[in-house]
Structure 1
Amino acid sequence: MSNGIVAKLDDKLRAKRESFDKIPVVDIAALLDRSNEHKVAKEIRWALSNAGFMYVKNHGIPQDFVDSVFDVSRQFFDLPMSQKMELHVSKSNVALRGYIEPFGENTDPGKTKDLKECFDFGPERSTLEGPFFGPNQWPSSLPELRELTYGYHQKMVDLAKKLLRGIALSLDLSESYFERLMRNPISIQRLLHYPPQTGYIGEEIIGIGAHTDYGNLTILAQDDVGGLQVMNRHGDWVEGIPIHGTFVINIGDLLQRLTNDVYLANMHRVVNSSGRERYSLPYFIDADFNAIIEPLPSCVTDSNPLRYKPVTCGEHKFGRFAASYAHLAKA
């Protein structure tokens, strides 16, 4: 609830309220039921080549289930700090599972400290297998967190595969193209809490600093508070206003690399000047750790020459995380 104190944003943090035709809403019902996959694929291509972001509706995930996950997420972040720190991400070593305190991860460390707290988990593993693969950490005082959020994670896995089928078709590839790269993919479900900011807000401390996502695909559920900002092709920050019943979809660095910059991994950030607590549920899916990502031959032309050398998914992603987490400097 607002305390009546209005935030005053630095000019560099102001986002324009523009027509969100620029971040299009794509109805994916015809992709999911296969009644008109190519029509949806065409809309996906426009969205990802021009904005790098899209809202999707008719995605098949019940809103009341999403709301229940938001509720238990709020309960988790309301736990005493001492209980949350017992699950600190550093205790998972390179698996990167657990709690991250405010300022514990900074996505644009040269400019911004991130005023957010997170809880990360992924596919269950009994032992530490390597970067991004290891046991999840769960709070004993909130057992429903595991049941609800892990169930949500599994629904996101399924939805991501369907969206990647549409993305493959949008690139004139076989709909199963991504399956060969994703037999055991890196997959992270994150719970996020952004405290409100009041008074003067500059770039030094905001919810999350400007960044592109590191991997293939992100599926974001956001509450009704707002604060997401996306950079358009003109370099202006545009508000990603919450639209009830939708997910925000964006691609990461690896898909931009795969398409040789035909598709855009767009810069985005969060500035919570609402006076309210903000919560979101981003899900990230990438590829197998050793999957080689290199530009598609169809995306390399005389007018768009080869821009990237091959890279492995895990090497790229872990390198980006290492720049954000202090405990990984010793890993």
Structure 2
Amino acid sequence: MSKDIIAKLDDKLRAKRESFDKLPVVDIAPLIDGSNKQRVAKEIRWALSNTGFMYVKNHGIPQDFVDSVFNVSRRFFDLAMSQKMTLHISKSDVAFRGYVEPFGENTDPSKTKDLKECFDIGPERSTLEGPFLGPNQWPSSLPEFRELTYGYHQKMLSLAKILLSGVALSLDLTEGYFENLMRDPISVQRLLHYPSQSGYVREEIIGIGAHTDYGSLAILAQDDVGGLQVMNRDGDWVDGVPINGTFVINIGDLIQRLTNDVYLANMHRVVNISGRERYSIPFFIDADFNATIEPLASCVTDSNPLRYKPITCGEHKLGRFAASYAHLAKV
């Protein structure tokens, strides 16, 4: 590799290369099979109260299926820009389904332009029912794309509900606590492509700017390229090194609000200077659009007073979208 294409990072973009001992790998098999749910819940509590992130293994999703979704994702992003733009997210109105071009969404718009492209799907609807609930858009030139990506969405939805049952147990709630907030939840299955950057890379343009996720929980499948960075409690950026056979799990704003900051929706970003294209597949689960999120009484104490007013899931998520999407600024 010639020296002129090797990226040089601005100091603000440097991450410490740590072993992630503080972000544990949690074996969730005992949660899935019921053999030791409380042990898993205890590990989830440590992870989410200290880091907001964890890896999970023995999750039950076959690796060859995950690989097939990565393969079809790469094929989609290899299509001509003109083809991808026929599926632009703005064509879906407030359902927020379809393609987002580079710089079309910026998660930290005051500092960073996001050098990434995305494709979003969600629960199937025949007509537009309201924000985040409407028809998906599908590329006609990739007939297998729909079956694979929507099948993946459905598997992630099931896994997310299992993980949230573990989160509920970790908070000494009933295992089915989140079911009352998730009769018809907002969910987003996203495909992401990050070009590699070279030269002098500054915070103004990176893969995705620093942000917290908007909803309840995210399940991330990442390839072996790397680039995920997570902020630790000391304010240092730490590399989220890919671990084969795991998903990266993190919570979003809604769980932080629900727990009155007992659990941490942590800042994270992507900086890809690998010299390779990076692909990832995050799934986001929220709550029902009109579900009210307010701090649990058990999380409000004299030493941790009430920090949040009640808010609906839809109100919060729409506000975050409006600040991030370029096409919404024109509405």
Question: For this structure pair, what is the TM-score category when the shorter chain's length is used for normalisation?
Answer: over 0.9
> What is the TM-score normalised by the length of structure 2?
0.99
In the alignment, which residue of structure 1 is the partner of 2:67? 67
Q: Distance in 1 between matches of 2:174 and 2:328?
A: 38
The CA deviation string for residues 205-229 of structure 1, in whole angstroms up to 9 with x for no partner, is 0000000000000000000000000
Counterpart amino acid of residue 154 in structure 1? Q
Alpha-carbon distance between aligned partners in 1 of 2:325 and 2:210, rounded to the nearest angstrom: 16
Shift of 1:22: 1.1
Deviation of 1:3 after TM superposition, in Å, equals: 7.0
Structure 1 residue ranges (4+ consecutive) displaced by more than 6 angstroms after TM superposition: none
User: Aligned with 1:185: secondary structure?
Assistant: coil
Specify the alignment match of 2:101 in structure 1.
Answer: 101
In 2, Cα distance between the equivalents of 1:3 and 1:162? 47
- Where in structure 2 are there 5+ consecutive unaligned residues? none
CA contact 1:196–1:273 (8 Å) conserved in 2: yes
Letter in 1 for 2:98: G
- Corresponding residue of 1:236: 236
**3-state SS of paired residue (2:307):** coil
Residues 104 and 327 in structure 2, CA contact (< 8 A), matched pair in contact too: no
What do the CA deviations read for 1:215-266 (whole angstroms, capped 9, x no partner)? 0000000000000000000000000000000000000000000000000000
SS at match of 2:286: strand
- Counterpart secondary structure, 1:160: helix
The aligned counterpart of 1:133 is: 133
Counterpart Cα distance in 2 of 1:266 and 1:3:
36
Deviations 1:183-224 (A, max 9, x none): 000000000000000010000100000000000000000000
Shift of 1:330: 4.9
CA contact (8 A) 2:106 2:326 kept: no
Q: Secondary structure at the match of 1:191?
A: strand
Q: Which residue of 2 aligns with 1:34?
A: 34
User: How far, CA to CA, are the matches of 1:89 and 1:3 in structure 2?
Assistant: 38
1:86-120 Cα distance to aligned partner (Å, 9 max, x none) = 00000001110000000000000010000000000
SS of 2:324's equivalent in the other structure is coil
Give the TM-score taking structure 1 as reference length: 0.99
**Percent of aligned pairs with the same amino acid:** 84
Question: Is 1:110 matched up with 2:73?
Answer: no
Q: How does 1:247-262 map to 2 (within 5 A)?
A: 247-262=247-262
- 2:50 equivalent in structure 1: 50
| Paired residues of 1:95 and 1:128 also in contact (CA < 8 A) | yes
Q: Distance in 2 between matches of 1:76 and 1:226?
A: 21
Matched, 1:9 2:9: yes
Is 1:211 aligned to 2:211, yes or no? yes
Tell me the matched-pair count.
Answer: 330
C-alpha root-mean-square deviation of aligned residues, in Å? 0.9
- Counterpart code for 2:318: F
CA contact 2:47–2:54 (8 Å) conserved in 1: yes
Contact 1:94 1:328 in 2 (8 A): no
Secondary structure of the structure 1 residue equivalent to 2:234:
coil
In 2, the alpha carbon distance for the partners of 1:129 and 1:195 equals 35
Give the whole-Å Cα distance in 1 for the aligned partners of 2:287 and 2:123. Answer: 14
Instruction: Give the distance between the partners of 1:25 and 1:222, measured in 2 at CA.
Output: 15
In structure 2, the residue matched to 1:123 is 123
Question: 1:80 aligned to 2:80?
Answer: yes
User: Contact 1:72/1:145 (CA < 8 Å) preserved in 2?
Assistant: yes
1:198 is matched with which residue?
198
**Unaligned runs of at least 5 residues, structure 1:** none
The structural deviation recorded for 1:18 is 1.2
Aligned-pair CA distance for 1:20:
1.0
Aligned to 2:175: 175
The separation in 1 between residues aligned to 2:91 and 2:39, in whole angstroms, is 46
